[in-house]
Amino acid sequence: MIGLSLARLDGSDLQEAADCFRHFQERYPLASCEIHTERSLFPTALTLGNDRSIAVCRKLRQSVAILGLHLPFMDLNPVSGNPRVVKMSLEVLEEAMDAGVDIEADFVVFHARGRHPSGDRLLEMSRWREVLTDLGQRAAARNLRFCLENADNLRRPSEVRELAEAAGIDICLDIGHLFERIYDDPTWTLARRAAARIQDIFSPRPFLLKSNLPAAETGGIDGLIGTLGKRIHCVHLHNHNGRHAHRPLSEGTVPWRRLAGHAGLTRDIPILLEADYRGRSSDCLERDLRLLTGLAREVGAQ
């Protein structure tokens, strides 16, 4: 099921992004979309508590089979050692989930951004299990599926799967973030870290070094999809060129065809284009839609 994330579409507000979505929906089988709530980054995001924004989303709801809502993440730290910061973070996330109910969303997506001050990874993982279990229950009480995205401080597929299983939640597989190397591994020397960065940034073929590359952690694409399994409920699709993620499909080296085909095109879950199309011509988005719909036809014919 093909769709778009509205956050990175051109527009000064959510209405303009929705108009862009509907324009392309006239020519392509766009059956899903995802709305963001992080207004600090995206002018096309939903403004929480704003009746006009809610009305735009409700109208979109009528034209798609599945509607998703991306929860905010800036300045939040639900695993902080400060109880007041934790309380504030959970309140912001819960307010966004309430908006998900208002717009009749089917699922919410969560970035695990935040650190525990101890620096103890085992303790931090324990805190994430508690927080994700709590958030998953809050979402379920609102009839929303809660999807943990492999991003920010939880990028390793093995950790994402472990937490999703422990918390009883789903996974949003972000294909571009699979190629965001974990450079801050404490076992790496400065020289090794620098060598990996130089190879990724300046080589015409980044990611040749597999160490600390989430995409290679579980033994390639087949192993990766097998690791995350049926908990994948939605997919964010964008490319990575070694320097930046959220590139259009034709601008990077990520094997997105194999990943998207494995992860979702053979299942009835949203495959959401999440490249940054802001400031680009509409031809760029149209080219990506042609590529993705072509892949969908190929997979469907197999």
The DSSP code sequence of 120-188 is -HHHHHHHHHHHHHHHHHHHHHTT-EEEEESBTTB--HHHHHHHHHHHT-EEEEETGGGGS--TT-TTS
Looking at residue 239, the DSSP 8-state letter turns out to be B
Dihedrals phi, psi of 45, to nearest 5 degrees:
-75, 160
Describe the chain by its helix, strand, coil percentages, rounded to 5. Answer: 45, 15, 40
Q: What is the largest CA-CA distance in the chain?
A: 54
* Coil/strand/helix, residue 71: coil
Rg for the chain (alpha carbons), in Å? 19
Q: What is the mean pLDDT of residues 48-57?
A: 92
Question: What is the average pLDDT across 44-67?
Answer: 94
3-state secondary structure of 29: coil
Query: Which homologous superfamily does the CATH classification assign to the domain defined by 2-181+220-301?
Result: Divalent-metal-dependent TIM barrel enzymes (3.20.20.150)
- Give the other-Cβ count within 10 Å of 5's Cβ: 29
**CB neighbours of residue 126 within 10 Å:** 14
- Cα–Cα distance for residue pair 23/86, rounded to 1 Å: 41
Look up residue 70 and give its two tokens: 């991306």
pLDDT at 177 (0 to 100): 93
Residues 6+ apart with CB under 8 A from 91: none
- Which of 11-25, 218-232, 272-286 shows the lowest mean pLDDT across its residues? 218-232
Residues β-bridged to residue 70: 36, 109
Q: Whole-angstrom Cα distance, residue 228 to residue 238?
A: 19
Q: E strand or H helix at 236, and its extent?
A: strand 232-237
Give the pLDDT mean for 127-140.
96
% of residues, the chain, pLDDT over 90: 67
The pLDDT of residue 120 is 86
Give this prediction's pTM: 0.94
| pLDDT of the residue at 204 | 83
Which of 188, 191, 200 minimizes the C-alpha distance to 245? 200
Q: Look at residue 256 in the predicted model and tell me its pLDDT.
A: 85
Q: CA-CA distance, 273 to 2, in Å (whole number)?
A: 8
Q: 176: phi > 0 → left, psi -120 to 50 → alpha, else beta; which?
A: alpha
Say how many Å lie between the first and final Cα of the chain, rounded. Answer: 16
Looking at residue 126, its pLDDT comes to 93
* Residue 67: φ, ψ to 5°: -120, 130
Tokens of 114: 């935040």
Please write the tens of the pLDDT for every residue from 147-163. Answer: 999 999 899 999 999 99
